[in-house]
Chain A
Amino acid sequence: MRKAFACFVVLAAIAMAAPLAAHHGAAQFDVGKKVTVKGTVTEWFWSNPHCFLRFDAAGADGQVVHWAVETQSGPNILPQGFSKQSFKVGDEVTVTLEPVKNGRPMGRLLQVVLPDGSTLPLRVTDAASIPAQN
């Protein structure tokens, strides 16, 4: 019974998160799945409609794996605390991502821990505290 309840809660959690997850290109992502990878930034590309972060990480066989994770566009993620200066090549980061279905080292960025221990994105409540102009 307890197992059944736990399963229900996990499924409910996926169901709750998934509706908000669907946006550009969602069909190739394994919606609801999360992977966390530690690596070194090789590129942070600031653009519209998608920014992306590329980083190198050690694979299970010791070989370097070249990861790429996308975010929404620059104007969309500015309020979440991101900027063109958020990452520089060589930064050590820990990235939590939603991977693509076919197993390639690609996905959508869900959260990243920066070298100073801070995380992006900020919580929405933080972004909403940006002062209004009237």
Chain B
Amino acid sequence: MDRPIRVLVGKPGLDGHDRGAKVIARALRDAGMEVIYTGLRLTPDQIVQAAIQEDVDVVALSILSGAHNHLLPKVVELLKVENIYDETLVICGGVIPEEDIPFLKEKGVAEVFTPGTPTGVTIDFIKQNLKRA
């Protein structure tokens, strides 16, 4: 555990609500992690390419548009195609109905953080569930 944890914070899809993404990005940074924030409107492919280039340990995605069931499994799928899913922790946050969470977990999203989650909970989760050796 020499180098700090590197996290890509991204907003997949067309959704422009980035308050949550930015707040979590700052909180992770303040917790000592290296954060790359990608900005809006990324396709799953662009997210995965950025994850490879930035050599991140965590991909943290924020979605409030309701397109999560479509976009998140795609990101996981592409991480698998690129052979980096096994070392990348995928988490997400946003307005995501409780009943969709089992589906997302089954598709490979490690955890889903819904509105009102303290940033400390997310930070702890990342620290305890890192996949990298």
> Do A and B come from the same complex?
no
By a beta-carbon cutoff of 8 Å, the part of chain B in contact with chain A is none
Chain A positions within 8 Å of B, measured between CB atoms, are none
